[in-house]
Amino acid sequence: MGLDDALIFTRVVECHSFTLAAKGLGMQKSTVSRRLALLEDRLGVRLLNRTTRKLRLTEVGQAYYDRCRQIMFDFAEAEQAVMQLQREPSGLLRISSPIEFGQLFLAHAIGAFMRQYPQITAEVELTARYVDPVEEGVDIALLVGQPQDSTLIARKLLETPRSLCASPEYLAIHGVPQTVSDLASHRAIVLGHDSPRYWPLLGQSIACHSVMTCNNITFAREAVLAGAGIAGLPDMICAQAVAEGRLVEVLPEAELPVGELYAVYPSRRFQAMKVKAFLDFLINALQALDGFELEPKPPGLLISKP
C-alpha cells in the first residue's frame, strides 16, 4: 500500500497534474486524489499545496518526493538490469535531429544499426526547432549547441570548425576582405543561432550588414554559392565546394565558434538498452569520419544529476 501510494504521489508531482497522472497510471482522477489524501493522513503532513491551477510541493513534500524518486529509480533499474541480461536492443527508437546531420549521416547510421538489430524500429524527426526529450517522449534528441536545461544529460558527439566563405563571383564584384574590419562593408548571410548584428568571430565585434538570415546551413551554403554574400559555414558542408573552387574561404586566420552536436536524453542511470546501444553505435560510426574533432568515448558529459 505504501509503495503504491508513493508511486502515485511521484507521478502526480512529475506530471504537475492529477489528471495526467491518473491517465498514465490507468486510474480515475478521483482515485488518485483520494489515495494522495489518505497518504497525507497516514503520514500526518501536507505534501502538496493545491489550487485550481497549480500544484506546489511543501518543504516536507519535496523531501519525501526526493526519496520516493530515488526508490523508483532503483526499482526500475533493478528490473531493467535483469531484463537486459536476456535481451538484444529492440522496440521503437524515437530520435530527433538537425536536418543536415540527419540527411548527411544519421539516416545511414540508423539503417546500419537496424540491420545489426532487426528488432529495432525507428521514428525520426528532422527539424530545426528545439526538442525537449522529456516533454515529447523522444529517446534521443540530437541538438546543435550545449542545451541549457539542467535536468538533462548531454553527451557531445562532435564538433566541426567553421569558415567564412564566399563565391568567386561575389568576391569579383565586392572585393576580397583583407582584414576582419573589412567585413563591416560586406553582405552577411546569418545563421539562425548567430547574432544578426555582428559577424560570428571569437573575441571581436565587427558589425555586419545582414542581407539574409536562415536556420538551415545547407540553405545558407546554397545562397553563398549563388553569390548572395559571405557566411560562416561549418566545414562539414562547405569543404567539398571549397576544394572544387565553387567557394572561397576568406580570412582563414579569423576564428569562429565551432559547431557542436550533442545527444541529449533524460537520464543515464535508467537507460533502455536500445538507447545505450544506439549511442555507442553512433559514436563509433562518427569516429570513422574525417573532418570532425571528436571527444574520446567517455561515459558522457553530465550536466546535472539525473
pLDDT in tens, 103-161: 888 999 999 999 999 989 999 999 888 888 888 888 999 988 877 776 788 888 888 88
Q: Mean pLDDT check: name the lowest of 75-79, 250-254, 286-290.
A: 286-290
| CATH architecture designation of domain 162-249 | 3-Layer(aba) Sandwich (3.40)
Please check the confidence at residue 300 and state whether its pLDDT lies above 50: no
Quote the pLDDT of residue 260: 86
CATH 3.40.190.10 residue spans of the chain: 91-159+259-286, 162-249
**CA gap 284, 208 in Å, rounded:** 39
Quote the pLDDT of residue 82: 66
Candidates 3.40.50.720, 2.40.50.100, 3.40.50.2000, 1.10.10.10; CATH matching 2-84? 1.10.10.10
Please check the confidence at residue 254 and state whether its pLDDT lies above 60: yes
91-159+259-286 has which CATH code? 3.40.190.10
Q: Mean pLDDT check: name the lowest of 34-43, 131-140, 200-209, 296-305.
A: 296-305
Taking residues 35-47, report their average pLDDT: 89
End-to-end, the C-alpha distance of the chain in Å comes to 27
Quote the pLDDT of residue 121: 94
Taking residues 242-251, report their average pLDDT: 95
Quote the pLDDT of residue 253: 92
Q: What percent of the chain has pLDDT over 70?
A: 89
Quote the pLDDT of residue 293: 39
CATH 1.10.10.10 residue spans of the chain: 2-84
